[in-house]
Amino acid sequence: MPPKPEILAAFEAAKGFMPVDEGLALYAAAEEAAALGPLLEVGTYCGRSTLLLAAAAREAGTTAVTVDHHRGSEEQQPGWEYHDPSVVDDDPGVGRMDTLPTFRRTLYKAGLEPHVIAIVGRSPQVAAVWGTPVGLVFIDGGHTDEHANADYEGWAPHVVPGGLLVIHDVFPDPADGGQAPYRVYLRALESGEFAEVSVTRSLRVLRRVAGPRAA
């Protein structure tokens, strides 16, 4: 089922970059995977996609977890294409991006705060101490090879059998966007641990079909 109209309206109103068709595909994946465990997102930004995970978690009686340092990814820094000066901390002693206040307002206005655990930290550091199996991992963090691979290596092993790995901004054609998420997507398929379930524009949904290989 699609998200409730008020959730979809909140999603469309929230600051962020995910188009509606990809959002609906993410929600469908979250709705399915929520029966298997918590839903975990890497890369929160201002909470646009978090709303969908939280709504699916609420319906299933589970929790959405979102991980972000809230200082913005590389392409969101000053001088880059996706920089938004409205989410820069205007304290003269800071002057850095801080998307956390906007994210919290997004959740609050949608009535979804009780269904989300927001972890403020860098993905590899959080993954290193994380020990809970999850029904879904949504990778939408930094888009360099270093960051995308670290997100995959840190979080994909926590997906339960039958659970879903969702990767955003997968562009097979370099003319359409950066290639790091695409290379991680290929890596997941080539591992033999994941099989493709669906493709919606740049959103790829994969299912765990085998356990993580021994190191």
CB 136 within 8 A of CB 155: no
Contacts of 97 (CB under 8 A, 6+ apart): 70, 71, 72, 76, 77, 87, 88, 89
Provide the greatest CA pair distance for the chain: 51
Secondary structure letter of residue 70 according to DSSP: S
- 83 has catalytic annotation: no
Q: How many CA atoms lie within 13 A of 200 on its CB side?
A: 20
In angstroms, the first-to-last Cα distance of the chain is 39
Within 10 angstroms of residue 153's Cβ, the number of other Cβ atoms is 13
Q: Among 69, 70, 143, 168, which one carries the catalytic annotation?
A: 143
Q: Please give the helix or strand (H or E) that residue 167 lies within, else none.
A: strand 159-167
Could you give the residue numbers annotated as active site? 143
